[in-house]
Structure 1
Amino acid sequence: MPGRVILVVRSWPRLSQTFILNEVLAMERRGAELTIVSLAHSNEQRRQSQVDKVRAPILFLDDVGFRARWSRIAGHAHVLAAAPVRYVATLLHVLANPGLSRGYATCSAVRCFGHAVVVAVLVLRLRRSDARTPHLHAHFAHDPALVGMLTRRLTGVPFSFTAHARDLYQIPPASLVARAAAANAVVTCCQVNADYIARTVPAEVRPPVQVIHHGVELDRFSPTLRAPGRDLTLVSVGRLVEKKGFADLLRAWAALAAAGYRFRGEIYGDGPLRRELTELSTRLGLGELVSFHGERDRDEIARALARTDVFVLTPCVTEDGDRDGIPNVLVEAMACGIPVVTTATGGIPELVRSGENGLVAPPGDMAAITAHLAVLASDPALRRRLGESGRRTVESGYDVEAAALALEAVFDPRTPLTAEVAS
């Protein structure tokens, strides 16, 4: 392993980004020395209890006040003095290419340069204290990867980034090319994303692209004995945003109820569409059949999964290209031995093979989603078979410890990487 891994994220801690927290804890269990650099505080009211187990120091770049401003000014002076040619060349590059921050972004290119200077100071300090070279890894291809790319230009530090979903598809292709060309490796969570990167980034500048599935803690999400009830419990988890397809899910549930099936529907998550979805649920006549529970941490989600008969998630691709990779909640449900009904969006078909370890419908096809739910509602043996197969799938390819080991190889300069190799 390098002397230290600097992990750049958009905000910390995020309830919806448990996969990053899982990776951090798994890497720390393996002895990695991490520093987490967060472009902003998440300011979320809820957080995962496991956040308190993280040993890594956290550096927030959105602090305000006199001391923070003075520290940033001193940082520019320090980096300029340490590497004047790199500093001036990087600043001119940013000023000449403001489009680096176009598309899905919350920071301008100039602001990302300021963030990169702060990270560069950290890199220089770590180099003075450790003979080994630190490695910089950014989670998400938009702002964090741009900060990583600029830090690479300022310091020459080895750099990689993980591309997930919206951050990958909603930045201009030229921006993705620029980030990838500066990286030692690009990591992504599913093969469909790797294929998109291969099509977008010319081979002559494309680094190795590694598919590393987000892993779950297999001992934490594990099968439990569920006593059969008169009514099925159908559960879905996710942010209440368009790409998660909750409107399609509610319509499928309404059709299921109209066909005479008895069930309880539970939705965990919050987001900008909550009011719209609750109103839709009422209009569809779902009434007391469906409950919206809001945001919950992973401990509460694990308890909800322990009493779930069928897990349902019906994502789609939005008009602006937003989509999922492989939703972590699907992996968690399958780890619990729960049969899943989902849609063929993003990397989901890589995880769920219809009829083998779950049931998959075309995105937006309410009739197919309803039919899958009806089949599972009337066939307990099929539910059990698909649930058991789903657990085996997760055990073989979605263990967080295996993901941490694969990331170590990306961060270790001694490990030769090959292009588009799945973990």
Structure 2
Amino acid sequence: MYPRFSETFIVTEILALEERGADLEIFSLRPPADGRFHEALARVAAPVTYLPHHLRSTELWRVLRAARPDLPDLERHLDELLDAAPDDAAAAVDLAAQVRRRGITHLHAHFGSVSTTVARLAARIAGIGYSFTAHAKDIFHADVDPADLSRKLADAAFVITVSDYNLTHLHREYGAAAEGVIRLYNGLDLDSFTYRAARPDPHTDPVIVGVGRLVEKKGFVHLVDALALLAQRGSTARLALVGSGPEESALRAQVTARGLEGRVTFHGSLPQGRMADVVSRAAVFAAPCVVGSDGNRDGLPTVVLEALALGTPVVATPVTGMPEAVRDAETGLLVPEADPIALANALERVLTDPDGARERAAAGRLLVEDVFDTRRNAAVLHALYAGTAAAPAPVAPPAPRVATAPTLPASARADELAEVAR
């Protein structure tokens, strides 16, 4: 689905690639599900095409008939098409025809699930390469078909995954099929996230902020319990939750049951700019992520990187790739998942030791600049595209641009940020 309100990392990647001169087109399997959009979408130049979805039988024949002039060898792929769900097969045929028609040289899908199913099939029909980015749900969820994912890993020109944790898991579970997997972090546009050393206002109650969909894997149920423990200890801390989702009613009921009605604000989903403002003003950012009962979990939440970039002290759990950004006692604090007492203790440590919190936050900003800058990461991805792009017959596209990693300005020096922190 494009655009999707919760997937800011995809828009950030597209903009960074376009900045490097990449000639992109966007194909979406689904139309957007709501009317909320982030400001950055207005800067995306790539055109968007929505592929056929939920077709009646007569419409399916129409798609096949329209694609036939561009895909004269379509019957060679009939067995694979018949193995796919009808909607996926129709989308793949339509996409393959547009690849031939428009001279597209490579397909890349985000998530190794249905989007890669369609990209893989379309690429095979059109005679070009494909790649995909594996995030979290598409790797760990109970619904993942290991044989299907293994086939995709083996067939792809290359595969990106967003953490070393994911990379190790894929190598361990899929062996030789995962040899082409590359770890490349989701990046941030650091121009949009200005560092500000947190300085608590003694005249206002400190705010703990949590951001994300209100679903099990975010662990917000444990954050509410931790806030209740802090209240019992005499803390005046309040909680701001940014996001929406199916657990909102249960969380509101929990807040009432714990006697926290005046301490918790449900902001709902906010555009990226407003979310960043809430996070930057908070005393501490909490990411109490857990592994869900269905195996679902976060990979490395983009909003955690955003909090680090903004200079907001972070407390998190060591789920999947989280320790690669939140390094315990260095760039933030880590606590065991599903442990409200440990979470409350860490939040209290941040609130009562602002100097230590600022030092960790300064180190967090440096880490983001060094490892999670979207311009650096997009340079790697663009070079991968250029190295694997192939001309789809019968159209002869222009020669692919050769991308090299740019020489970027040096990050702010550690001593400068330390001085700001002091």
TM-score range, shorter chain: 0.7 to 0.9
* 2:262 aligned counterpart, secondary structure: helix
- Aligned in 2, Cα 1:227/1:386: closer, same or farther, shift over 3 Å? closer
**Matches of 1:407 and 1:75, distance apart in 2:** 33
Give the superposition deviation at 1:304: 1.0
- Asked if 1:189 corresponds to 2:184, the answer is no
Does the CA contact (< 8 Å) of 1:137 and 1:161 recur in 2? yes
Give the superposition deviation at 1:287: 1.4
Does the CA contact (< 8 Å) of 1:126 and 1:134 recur in 2? no
Return the match for 1:363 from 334, 337, 344. 337
In structure 1, what is the equivalent of residue 132 of structure 2? 161
- Asked if 1:112 corresponds to 2:88, the answer is yes
**Matches of 1:73 and 1:180, distance apart in 2:** 28
Return the match for 2:63 from 66, 72, 89. 72
Quick check: 193-202 or 287-296, which moved more? 193-202
Given residue 147 of structure 1, which amino acid in structure 2 is its aligned partner?
Answer: V
- Asked if 1:317 corresponds to 2:296, the answer is no
Does the CA contact (< 8 Å) of 1:86 and 1:155 recur in 2? no
Give the superposition deviation at 1:61: 1.6
Structure 2 unmatched runs, 5+ = 390-401, 403-422
Structure 1 unmatched runs, 5+ = 1-10, 99-108, 128-132, 417-423
Quick check: 226-235 or 242-251, which moved more? 226-235
Return the match for 2:241 from 253, 267, 287. 267
Give the superposition deviation at 1:86: 3.0
Does the CA contact (< 8 Å) of 2:13 and 2:374 recur in 1? yes
In structure 2, what is the equivalent of residue 124 of structure 1? 100
* 1:320 aligned counterpart, secondary structure: coil
**Matches of 1:397 and 1:410, distance apart in 2:** 18
Give the superposition deviation at 1:298: 0.1
**Matches of 1:14 and 1:326, distance apart in 2:** 18
Give the superposition deviation at 1:197: 1.4
Given residue 86 of structure 1, which amino acid in structure 2 is its aligned partner?
Answer: R
**Matches of 1:172 and 1:277, distance apart in 2:** 32
* 1:160 aligned counterpart, secondary structure: strand
Does the CA contact (< 8 Å) of 1:344 and 1:362 recur in 2? yes
Return the match for 1:14 from 4, 7, 15. 4
Give the superposition deviation at 1:320: 1.2
**Matches of 2:36 and 2:388, distance apart in 1:** 40
Return the match for 1:253 from 223, 227, 230. 227
Does the CA contact (< 8 Å) of 1:331 and 1:394 recur in 2? yes
- Aligned in 2, Cα 1:76/1:414: closer, same or farther, shift over 3 Å? closer
**Matches of 2:283 and 2:29, distance apart in 1:** 40
Does the CA contact (< 8 Å) of 2:54 and 2:87 recur in 1? no
Give the superposition deviation at 1:87: 2.9
* 2:358 aligned counterpart, secondary structure: helix
Given residue 165 of structure 1, which amino acid in structure 2 is its aligned partner?
Answer: A
- Asked if 1:172 corresponds to 2:145, the answer is yes
Give the superposition deviation at 1:227: 4.9
Does the CA contact (< 8 Å) of 2:68 and 2:74 recur in 1? no
Q: Deviations over 1:169-199 (max 9, x none)?
A: 2211111111112101110100111112112
**Matches of 1:85 and 1:49, distance apart in 2:** 44
Give the superposition deviation at 1:200: 2.5
* 1:40 aligned counterpart, secondary structure: coil
Q: CA RMSD in A?
A: 2.1
Return the match for 1:214 from 186, 200, 218. 186
In structure 1, what is the equivalent of residue 15 of structure 2? 25
Does the CA contact (< 8 Å) of 2:13 and 2:378 recur in 1? yes
In structure 2, what is the equivalent of residue 105 of structure 1? none
Quick check: 138-147 or 71-80, which moved more? 71-80
Does the CA contact (< 8 Å) of 1:243 and 1:317 recur in 2? yes
TM-score (norm: length of structure 2): 0.87
Alignment of 1:17-416 (within 5 A): 17-62=7-52, 72-78=63-69, 80-81=71-72, 83-92=73-82, 94=83, 109-127=85-103, 134-170=105-141, 171-203=144-176, 205-224=177-196, 226-230=198-202, 231-413=205-387
Q: Deviations over 1:147-183 (max 9, x none)?
A: 1111122122111000101112221111111111210
- Aligned in 2, Cα 1:355/1:226: closer, same or farther, shift over 3 Å? closer
Give the superposition deviation at 1:53: 1.2
- Aligned in 2, Cα 1:225/1:379: closer, same or farther, shift over 3 Å? closer
**Matches of 1:337 and 1:399, distance apart in 2:** 15
Does the CA contact (< 8 Å) of 2:28 and 2:51 recur in 1? yes
* 2:30 aligned counterpart, secondary structure: strand
Does the CA contact (< 8 Å) of 1:183 and 1:207 recur in 2? no
Give the superposition deviation at 1:332: 0.1
Quick check: 254-263 or 222-231, which moved more? 222-231
The structure in which a higher percent of residues are strand is 1
- Aligned in 2, Cα 1:227/1:353: closer, same or farther, shift over 3 Å? closer
**Matches of 1:397 and 1:141, distance apart in 2:** 24
**Matches of 2:81 and 2:359, distance apart in 1:** 58
Q: Deviations over 1:24-62 (max 9, x none)?
A: 011111111111000001221211111111111101124
TM-score (norm: length of structure 1): 0.87
* 2:27 aligned counterpart, secondary structure: strand
